[in-house]
């Protein structure tokens, strides 16, 4: 097994708003990937066979955003603070500021996105 996680989905109630939020805070462009029963915007990945990725999804009959379920950590390298600095202006809320886990493991932070999901960030020390 290369990674413990291969794919994640973050539910939305407004896919365009959520896509704009994540593109703004992470400085990325999400890739449209719509399925017959729901719409998705995929986080970019270099190689789907060996990388880890996920998507924002709009599937109200399947699941709803929440702030107390599974916690997904997004890559915030080189520094969690660079992403945190964009969250509130983009419509999110920081609930755990940049916090050192350890000198070897790096830093983490937690925020609530525009959809009401609790999501975390992680950066590895360079």
| 105 contacts: CB under 8 Å, gap ≥ 6 | 124
> CA 27, 112, 91 angle in degrees (round to 5)?
60
N- to C-terminal Cα distance for the chain? 26
List, for residues 18-59, the tens digit of each pLDDT value.
999 999 999 999 999 988 888 999 999 888 777 889 999 999
Give residue-wise pLDDT tens across range 80-109. Answer: 999 999 999 999 999 999 999 999 999 999
Helix (H) or strand (E) run with residue 55 in it: strand 53-58
Across the strands, what pairs with 123?
107
Distance (Å, rounded) from C-alpha 80 to C-alpha 76? 5
């Amino acid at each position: 097994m290369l990674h413990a996680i291969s794919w994640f989905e973050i539910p939305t109630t407004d896919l365009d708003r959520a896509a704009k939020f994540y593109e703004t805070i992470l400085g990325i462009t999400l890739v449209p990937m719509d399925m017959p029963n729901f719409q998705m915007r995929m986080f970019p990945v270099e190689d789907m066979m060996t990388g880890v990725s996920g998507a924002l999804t709009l599937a109200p009959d399947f699941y709803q955003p929440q702030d107390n379920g599974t916690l997904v950590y997004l890559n915030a390298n080189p520094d969690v603070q660079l992403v945190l600095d964009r969250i509130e202006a983009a419509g999110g809320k920081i609930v755990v500021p940049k916090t050192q886990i350890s000198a070897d493991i790096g830093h983490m932070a937690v925020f609530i996105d525009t959809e009401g999901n609790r999501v975390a960030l992680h950066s590895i020390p360079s």
